Structure 1
Amino acid sequence: MASAEVLVVVHTTVYGQRLRDVHALLEADLRVRIRFTVAPHTFNRGATAHVRRLGGAVLPWKEAVRRSFDLVLAAGSQGLERLHGPTVRLPHGVGHIKLSPTGVGARRTVAGLGPEYVIWNGRLVPAAYALAHRDDRTELGRGCPEALPIAEVVGDADHDRIAAALPSRERYRASLGLRPGERLVLVCSTWGSGSLFTRLDTVLPRLAAELPRRGHHAALLVHPNVSAAHGPRAVRARATAAARGAVSVLGPEKDWRPLLVAADFVIGDHGSVTLYGTMTGAPVLLAAHPHRDINPRSPGAQLAHTAPALSTSQPLTAQLAHAAAQYRRKDYAAIAARISSEPGRFDRRMRRLLYRVLGLDEPAHPPAPPVLPLPAPLWPTPDDDRVGAPSAAAATRAVSGASRDL
């Protein structure tokens, strides 16, 4: 029986998270041996811990660049030209929202889709570039037409797992510790100078002061690159102080997808998590959106024209109620449809691509259905009979008029 050795390249925690549902497609095949390595990157703090949590065999980078592999999996580009073996590259975010920091004006390419991400000394580094949407392929043609022959649209793993989890939303809410009628406000930030993280000192105190404590919870998700730059302890300390303990702060190792499935409102920016929020039925408020750094053709730009902007002068609860009243499912569904043009088909299409590159026959059974694991409790579930426990009706009234339009 033929066998193959696969190297999973983890540049950062985020890149590792993007690859988790990809290498899982190979793990049950006894013909395939999977190894991990942590590649050089400015934000690779935490990447080694991510690999250790996976429990896989780890190769030091210095050894990885000396060996040959039958397949290399990566969601970043740095250092890939030094590896030996056909590489399948994936995007490390959704929607290709951001413009590249290199270039000026109209010459700025879309991050991940310019020649600097796939070409090294005149040669294409990846053997295949797995994209989520046919629009991404069109964008690649604008920025790096030389890469079109290796581009393949396979869909998006996170999209499929969130979509599969939404019908069981109440199970995810209960697993987190949310009671019927309680509201979850999810605050999510990407990284960089235009992110919501740079405004935490104005957003989080408002949640602490204005969001009713009874019947409401708030949680904060910060891009792991922020923790890599400042340290997770410092990020947690800053957020906890700003929110005066009223907001649960999720560490960079936590799976953000169950929180998004459970959320009743999303306060976000131009990051991937906010964009995935368009799938869920939760009204979105944008607390930050650096228009000059956003691809104007992206679904992120479309979201900025659809979702209301968080105001510093109006009461927070009134803005949440207004966002719920103005929410139109079809408008957000049109944005969500731009995340993946192969909804529900990522595992099947991605596995077919991987085995083609490996040169192995694909297993004679379909991939398992995409399942999003239930999360660990984030809030302790109180005794329903305790004195003073808020009723579902009281929790619903706490944000006047705030209703979900599913």
Structure 2
Amino acid sequence: MSALSTSTDPLVAEREWLTMVERKTVLAVVHTLAYGKRLLDILSLLEADFRVQVVFTAPPHVFGDEVPFFLQSLGGAVLPWDEAIRMKFDLALAAGPRGVEKISAPLLTLPHGAGYLKRLSTGSHPGVAGLRRQDLAPGGRLPAAVAVPHHAELSVLKQHCPEALPLAHVVGDPAHDRIVASRPLRSVYRRALGLAGEEKLVVVASTWGARSSFGRLESLLPRLMAELPAGRFRSVILVHPNVWSGHGSWQVRSWLARCAHSGITVLAPEADWRAVLIAADHIIGDHGSVTLYGTLTKAPILLASSPEQEINVLSPAAALAMAAPALSPAHPLVSQLDYATAEYRPAEYAAIAERITSEPGRFNRNMRRLMYRLLGLGQPAHEPVTVPLPNPPALDSWAQGRRQVPA
């Protein structure tokens, strides 16, 4: 029976007056905005199934500031964390480890980005972030299942947390499949963004952390404003949600305030960046997931930051660090973009992209099968189709500070 219809906790007694009772209940654990956006791809696989009720909760997290707006925009049923950990659920989904050992449910864990790109070389628990024992078994409790995108992760998992290896399932990558399914709509996305026919879109992507490209924006922004001729180039900045949460939205917008006056668009942290990435002609990035997903497009990549000490040497991010040219402070920006275009090798980038997932185009099928098996339900009798991304808002609307409701 559903936790929503059987709980005796006085705080949730009113939930017994629901119309739809005795549903299987799935708890989506949204630690951060980045985690929540990844979970949306998984929750879409439960659409139109009247046997399942999805509820959300938000554990305390240092990067959780943007989560309340995100959940409010979704319109989902949100349980306070203190309430959620006193209830039982039929399945819980989480893209991060913090506090999940307190949840009473079979737990399915998954990465929140393009696999496991970051290596932690300092501290008491070095290793590949996301595949260490404390990431997979916080409090000593193993999940019911560990979803990974590529078979290559299994050897790393065996090294760092061998007891989790029997629980691992190679399911693929949802962002990879959505981007690939949406690539034929590139011209549609460019029109929706408001780009002129010959206008080149430069996407500047940053992960979070001291060695991310965001720390170099102070020197890069003046170059974007001064060296890229208006009418020939448009620029968009994609900043990891953890930067927004860590420093505060007001502060990030303050740091980037001159962008709007110079025609540079800053995407809000809740925005779906994937259609914008598909529309790009050039990508300036770092060792984060967005830059790696850029290998799925035909846009040449310049690396503004690629710290060797933070990159998992077995990941495709390490291969990209060897293939993509590094941004130079001593040469004109336009000439560097031209150089990256001239040196672009589609086959080399395609080989890197293939390392994102060993189940291309099959994430929905694999993940839905796994979730329904954990729920103890038969799957719906239809193919789980990978739907192309919706059209993005026009760049000018983001320049006015508009926030986007998650799709």
TM-score by structure 1 length? Answer: 0.90
Match of 2:81 in 1: 61
Paired residues of 1:232 and 1:251 also in contact (CA < 8 A): no
Distance in 1, matches of 2:227 and 2:239, equals 21
Match of 1:173 in 2: 190
Distance in 1, matches of 2:371 and 2:267, equals 33
- What is the Cα deviation at residue 246 of structure 1? 3.4
Give the 3 Å change call, closer, same or farther, for CA 154–50 of structure 1 in structure 2: same
Q: Does 1:138 align with 2:155?
A: yes
One-letter identity of the residue aligned with 1:70: D
One-letter identity of the residue aligned with 1:71: L
Cα deviation code 1:43-86 (max 9, x no counterpart): 00101111111111110101000000000011000000000000
Match of 1:209 in 2: 226
Paired residues of 2:98 and 2:138 also in contact (CA < 8 A): no
Paired residues of 1:240 and 1:249 also in contact (CA < 8 A): no
Match of 1:185 in 2: 202
Match of 1:256 in 2: 273
- What is the Cα deviation at residue 239 of structure 1? 1.8
Match of 2:129 in 1: 111
Paired residues of 1:95 and 1:338 also in contact (CA < 8 A): no
Q: 1:94 aligns with which of 108, 114, 122?
A: 114
Please state whether the residue corresponding to 1:25 is helix, strand or coil: helix
Paired residues of 1:277 and 1:284 also in contact (CA < 8 A): yes
Mapping of 1:4-403 within 5 angstroms? 4-100=24-120, 103=123, 108-124=126-142, 126-241=143-258, 245-379=262-396
Q: Which runs of 5+ in 1 are unaligned?
A: 381-406
Cα deviation code 1:345-400 (max 9, x no counterpart): 111110000000000011111113332111111138xxxxxxxxxxxxxxxxxxxx
- What is the Cα deviation at residue 242 of structure 1? 6.6
One-letter identity of the residue aligned with 2:353: A
- What is the Cα deviation at residue 2 of structure 1? 7.0
Please state whether the residue corresponding to 1:305 is helix, strand or coil: helix
Paired residues of 1:39 and 1:61 also in contact (CA < 8 A): yes
Which stretch shows the higher mean deviation, 296-305 or 139-148? 139-148
- What is the Cα deviation at residue 121 of structure 1? 4.1
- What is the Cα deviation at residue 154 of structure 1? 0.5
Paired residues of 1:204 and 1:243 also in contact (CA < 8 A): no
- What is the Cα deviation at residue 243 of structure 1? 7.8
Paired residues of 1:95 and 1:300 also in contact (CA < 8 A): no
Distance in 2, matches of 1:173 and 1:232, equals 27
- What is the Cα deviation at residue 138 of structure 1? 2.0
Please state whether the residue corresponding to 2:46 is helix, strand or coil: coil
Match of 2:5 in 1: none
Cα deviation code 1:233-291 (max 9, x no counterpart): 22122123378533111110111101100000000001100000001010000001111
Please state whether the residue corresponding to 2:120 is helix, strand or coil: coil
Paired residues of 1:200 and 1:239 also in contact (CA < 8 A): no
Distance in 2, matches of 1:331 and 1:59, equals 46
Paired residues of 1:220 and 1:249 also in contact (CA < 8 A): yes
Cα deviation code 1:296-331 (max 9, x no counterpart): 111101100000000000000000000000000000
Distance in 2, matches of 1:271 and 1:307, equals 14
- What is the Cα deviation at residue 103 of structure 1? 4.1
Residue identity (%): 53
Match of 2:14 in 1: none
Cα deviation code 1:76-110 (max 9, x no counterpart): 00000000000111101213110136547xx7210
Aligned residues: 377
Distance in 1, matches of 2:307 and 2:115, equals 16
One-letter identity of the residue aligned with 2:342: A
Paired residues of 1:95 and 1:299 also in contact (CA < 8 A): no
Give the 3 Å change call, closer, same or farther, for CA 309–172 of structure 1 in structure 2: same
Match of 2:4 in 1: none
Distance in 2, matches of 1:75 and 1:311, equals 35
Q: Which runs of 5+ in 2 are unaligned?
A: 1-20, 398-407
One-letter identity of the residue aligned with 1:345: R
Please state whether the residue corresponding to 1:24 is helix, strand or coil: helix
One-letter identity of the residue aligned with 2:161: C
Please state whether the residue corresponding to 1:266 is helix, strand or coil: strand
Distance in 2, matches of 1:109 and 1:243, equals 40
